[in-house]
Amino acid sequence: MTNPREGKLAHLATELAAQRTSSRELVTDCLTRISSSKGEGARVFLKVYGEQALATAEFYDRMRQQGARFGRFAGIPVSIKDLFDVAGDTTRAGSTVLKGAPAAERDAAAVARLRAAGFVVIGRTNMTEFAFSGLGINPHYGTPLNAWDRAMGRIPGGSSSGAAVSVTDAMAFGALGTDTGGSCRIPAAMCGIVGFKPTASRVPTSGTYPLSPSLDSIGPLANSVACCAALDAVLASQTSTPAAELTVSDLRLGVLTSYVTDGLDQAVAASFERALRALGKAGAKLTDVSLPELAELPQINRKGGISAAESYAHHRARLDKEGSRYDMRVLVRILRGSEQDAADYIDLRNIRADFTARVAQQIRKFDAVVMPTIPITAPALSELASDDAYARINGLALRNPSIVNFIDGCAISLPCHAPGTAPVGLSLFGLRNTDSQLLAAAAAVEPIVAIDG
């Protein structure tokens, strides 16, 4: 069986090209882990495409043996979030409400691009219903448990919960997720992997069930920055020359010093300081940045913000008849949109544009801005039993990463915790359409803050 620790895409591509492994072996190993995970696989995947994945793997193996040329990553299994259309399947978006909806006629654009590059879709992953939470809990299909301290029953983060656990448990070697307020980066941080949120317009959302079209973006979760960059290039149909490689001593990094560092867990604070010390020692130019504008966000979003308004507009026709079938904690957030009228929504759009311009003026001089991805480590599922605890912890999880969605930027979370400690994410972010520069900066930072460093 393939070593899960060797699950980086470049390594797998090299092994496949040299025929030291086969696509069938990779797919079989993933399917074995899904089926032998003491029930975790059933919580991670809402549907497994076992027969199709094996058939696709065998095709690539035969063609490779005959000297055919195709994409570098052809034959590598990946998972897709249950928010994406797959031809012939119903997209449930982690809900029971959509179980009887018509099957999709074609793949979502993001799924089609992965297939065109040769990636093998191994299955559809579990998620928070309708992607409207940062915790990853799903009362309909069960909650995938974090690989860290699984005996304690810790949450994986969300909404791309199954996506993250499919990677940590080597049930797939990359995952397709979405990010409206942190849904790639939060589970990446809680689970100790890498999650990338691109500029929203970088990847088409056609065939993706919407949460908030103004904020939705599509990104990967994987085992390294390079893996996420490779998947992002496929998803974005990137044909331009990638950004030049950077060294840490080249980097000008802004360090957020307020709002995002309020109330940090002790473990998060220690890991963040550890990462900053390592970066400074390696020669990165670190400059404190306060961004007082961030203190405006609670007031801006006091009626639920853009995501509540747009999700309510999408769901309101269904709520009268089927509202009782929704996850009540998700429903509460959707209904916040009913508190807003047209003028509120127009005000929000205008405020967002002004806020973004003011923030951009202060951070455009940096190669990236750094902050803790989230201020907490993964809590146990039992800690979220009350609605008050759920709301408080969900708010904390979303607080930092949602900043980037609001300014329409790009961001990446990479692990920065010490060996054997709770996973903690270090986030780097930049302005819209600086994705290639951000990924280059993250690639330089990654080995400096690596957990085994």
For the stretch 45-95, pLDDT in tens is 999 999 999 999 999 999 999 999 999 999 999 999 999 999 999 999 999
* Co-location of 430 and 363 in the same domain: yes
Exposed, middle or buried by CB within 10 Å (0-12, 13-18, 19+), for 387? exposed
* Co-location of 99 and 229 in the same domain: yes
* Co-location of 227 and 332 in the same domain: no
Q: Is residue 322's pLDDT more than 80?
A: yes
Residue 6's pLDDT band (boundaries 50, 70, 90)? low
Q: Which of 183, 207, 235 is the last residue of a domain?
A: 235
Once rounded to an integer, what is the mean pLDDT over residues 205-213? 98
Q: Is residue 244's pLDDT more than 80?
A: no
Structural domain total, the chain: 2
Predicted TM-score (pTM) of this structure? 0.97
* Co-location of 124 and 213 in the same domain: yes
Structure tokens at 17: 């090209």
- Give Cβ neighbours of residue 217 (< 8 Å, ≥ 6 apart): 178, 179, 180, 197, 198, 199, 200, 202, 203, 205, 405
Model pLDDT for residues 354-379, shown as the tens digit of each residue: 999 999 999 999 999 999 999 999 99
Q: Tell whether 243 is covered by a domain.
A: no
* Co-location of 155 and 299 in the same domain: no
Spatial distance between the Cα atoms of 196 and 219, rounded to a whole number of angstroms: 6
Residue 241's pLDDT band (boundaries 50, 70, 90)? low
Q: Tell whether 408 is covered by a domain.
A: yes
Once rounded to an integer, what is the mean pLDDT over residues 308-321? 97
Structure tokens at 191: 């689970």
* Co-location of 152 and 107 in the same domain: yes
Q: Is residue 440's pLDDT more than 60?
A: yes
Q: Tell whether 2 is covered by a domain.
A: no
Annotated catalytic residue 240: no
Per the CB < 8 A criterion, the answer to whether 338 and 316 are in contact is yes
Model pLDDT for residues 86-97, shown as the tens digit of each residue: 999 999 999 999
Q: Tell whether 353 is covered by a domain.
A: yes
Phi-psi category of 207—alpha, beta or left, where left has phi over 0 and alpha has psi -120 to 50? left
3-state SS assignment for residue 286? strand
- Give Cβ neighbours of residue 185 (< 8 Å, ≥ 6 apart): 179, 195, 196, 197, 373, 374, 401, 411, 412, 413, 425, 427
* Co-location of 292 and 394 in the same domain: yes
Q: Tell whether 268 is covered by a domain.
A: yes
* Co-location of 107 and 133 in the same domain: yes
Q: Which of 179, 203, 235 is the last residue of a domain?
A: 235
List residues bridging with 219 in a β-sheet.
177
Residue 3 is predicted with a pLDDT of 52
276: how many CB neighbours lie within 10 A of its CB? Answer: 18
* Co-location of 352 and 286 in the same domain: yes
Q: Tell whether 12 is covered by a domain.
A: yes
Query: What φ, ψ does residue 313 adopt, rounded to 5°?
Result: -60, -35
* Co-location of 177 and 293 in the same domain: no
3-state SS assignment for residue 218? strand
Residue 453 is predicted with a pLDDT of 43
For the ranges 35-39, 199-203, 297-301, the lowest mean pLDDT is seen at: 35-39
* Co-location of 228 and 311 in the same domain: no
Q: Which of 200, 235, 270 is the last residue of a domain?
A: 235
Q: Tell whether 215 is covered by a domain.
A: yes
Instruction: Report the CATH number that the domain containing residue 256 is assigned in CATH.
Output: 3.90.1300.10
Range of the domain at 287: 248-449
Q: Tell whether 240 is covered by a domain.
A: no
Annotated catalytic residue 365: no
Average pLDDT of the chain, as a whole number? 96
Residue 7's pLDDT band (boundaries 50, 70, 90)? confident
Give me the helices (H) in 387-434, please. Answer: 387-399, 401-406
Once rounded to an integer, what is the mean pLDDT over residues 287-306? 97
Residue 4's pLDDT band (boundaries 50, 70, 90)? very low
**End-to-end C-alpha distance for the chain, whole angstroms:** 27
Annotated catalytic residue 159: yes
Residue 242 is predicted with a pLDDT of 63
* Co-location of 356 and 275 in the same domain: yes
31: how many CB neighbours lie within 10 A of its CB? Answer: 21
Percent of the chain with pLDDT over 90: 94
258: how many CB neighbours lie within 10 A of its CB? Answer: 13
Please tell me which residue in 81, 166, 212, 436 is annotated as part of the active site.
81
Please tell me which residue in 79, 160, 166, 183 is annotated as part of the active site.
183
Please tell me which residue in 23, 79, 133, 159 is annotated as part of the active site.
159
Q: Which of 108, 105, 128, 104 is nearest to 116 (CA)?
A: 108
